[in-house]
Amino acid sequence: MFAIVNSKTEKFVYGTDFTHPHYSKKYPKKRIFEQRTSYNQALTYAEYSTAELDFVHRGCGKDYKIVKVSLKIVGYTDVIYRDNVPEVIIHAIE
């Protein structure tokens, strides 16, 4: 599994703001989009080629890289309804 990461902050890319592009001073026709980054959220890709295509589509610059990641299940939740009131029970996996 792969994800896009900001090299400087080590935050994961979880989205891109395509609504307000900036324009490069060196290359005026090149649009620069703002990446949404987080330590807690990430877009993941099953294949490197898919991550690479999205990297280009999102306009990620030199501060971003594609990294290999693994997803680990650390717990799960159950929702029980008592008198139509939801009760969430969190189970940790050790």
Residue 82's Cβ-side half-sphere holds a number of Cα atoms within 13 Å equal to: 5
The answer to whether 3 and 14 have CB atoms below 8 angstroms apart is: no
Instruction: Report, in angstroms and rounded to the nearest whole number, the Rg of the chain calculated over CA atoms.
Output: 19
**Which residue's entry shows tokens 């939801």?**
86
Q: In 3-state terms, what secondary structure has residue 75?
A: strand
In the predicted model, is pLDDT for residue 2 greater than 90? yes
**DSSP structure class, residue 30:** -
Question: Which of the four pLDDT bands, split at 50, 70 and 90, describes residue 92?
Answer: confident
- The pair of structure tokens assigned to 61 is 């610059």
Q: What is the pLDDT of residues 19-67, one digit of tens each?
A: 776 666 666 666 677 889 999 999 999 999 999 999 998 888 889 999 9
